[in-house]
Amino acid sequence: MEMAPAPVSPTPRTVDDIYKDFSNRRTALVRALTVDVDDFYGFCDPEKENLCLYGYPNGSWEVALPAEEVPPEMPEPALGINFARDGMNRRDWLSLVAVHADSWLLAVAFFFGARLNANDRKRLFSMINDQSTVLESLSERKHGRDNKSGGDNSGKSRHSAKRANNDVQTKNPRPVAVDVAYEDDDEHSETLCGTCSGRYNASEFWIGCDICERWFHGKCVRITPAKAEHIKHYKCPDCSSKKSRQ
């Protein structure tokens, strides 16, 4: 449970400091909506007043009332996230909260970065865009649970959505991200990227080819978690080029 008040942190002023502040807040919000979701759900009682979800630079999160001062010291999260809790499907409600959390994170980053010059702002938001959004992380967590429901016991194929889904249903197999927050590094230590030959790392997004069944860093084949959501059958660059030559 992450409810202790966060210590006051110095205002971030450089690109690296603002990015670190953004990353830590994002990590906290992702944790609230995934690992600590039952606690988060319980705190969002619809009978209470307008509540907000805060992510702090120290990596903690809190469900609390908004700041009373007007205007606030910095942008505030969405108000009243608790009111819709019991009127929506739980998954849809969490997704809605995630979207508002992403909007707040960007607002805070803009607030701190408003005094940066154009080149520094461009660098900052390029760094931010390299991270998956809170919503994408929530979606990855959901698919990670689905993948673990399969009965395949091999280390590599346990995190293959294509094989895991075949155990449950035979239609529409699709590769999805390795569950970056909940998989064991040692379990998949022998998995190598088909492009760079780098070993599996749980902190990175991976995708599997439906043709050759090799695995790739998403960044090596330019596939993001958001793009993977819309791919039914993924073909790696090598398999795609082989088909074009035939």
33 and 118 fall within a common domain: yes
Q: Is residue 166 part of a domain?
A: yes
Beta bridge partners of 146: none
So what's the pLDDT on residue 18?
95
35 and 107 fall within a common domain: yes
Q: Is residue 140 part of a domain?
A: no
Asked if residue 239 has pLDDT above 60, the reply is yes
Amino acid identity of residue 89, one-letter, is N
32 and 76 fall within a common domain: yes
| pLDDT average, residue stretch 220-246 | 79
Whole domain around residue 241: which residue ranges?
148-245
| pLDDT average, residue stretch 98-105 | 96
180 and 235 fall within a common domain: yes
- Lowest average pLDDT, out of 72-81, 85-94, 147-156, goes to 147-156
Asked if residue 79 has pLDDT above 60, the reply is yes
In this structure, are residues 215 and 191 in contact, taking their beta carbons and an 8 Å threshold?
yes
| Residue 216 structure tokens | 């790739």
125 and 166 fall within a common domain: no
Q: How confident is the model at residue 142 (pLDDT cuts 50, 70, 90)?
A: low
Mean pLDDT score of the chain: 78
Top pLDDT among 199 and 43 is at 43
So what's the pLDDT on residue 8?
46
**Residue entry with tokens 């569950």:** 179
Q: Is residue 3 part of a domain?
A: no
| pLDDT average, residue stretch 64-73 | 87
> Closest Cα to residue 205, out of 185, 176, 178, 186?
178
Q: Which of 68, 102, 131 is the last residue of a domain?
A: 131
Asked if residue 127 has pLDDT above 50, the reply is yes
180 and 88 fall within a common domain: no
- For residues 158 and 147, give the distance between their C-alpha atoms in angstroms, rounded to a whole number: 7
In this structure, are residues 216 and 207 in contact, taking their beta carbons and an 8 Å threshold?
yes
127 and 21 fall within a common domain: yes
67 and 119 fall within a common domain: yes
In this structure, are residues 183 and 144 in contact, taking their beta carbons and an 8 Å threshold?
yes
- Global pTM reads 0.57
So what's the pLDDT on residue 233?
83
41 and 114 fall within a common domain: yes
Top pLDDT among 5 and 242 is at 242
In this structure, are residues 46 and 82 in contact, taking their beta carbons and an 8 Å threshold?
yes
- Lowest average pLDDT, out of 56-60, 75-79, 188-192, 197-201, goes to 188-192
120 and 30 fall within a common domain: yes
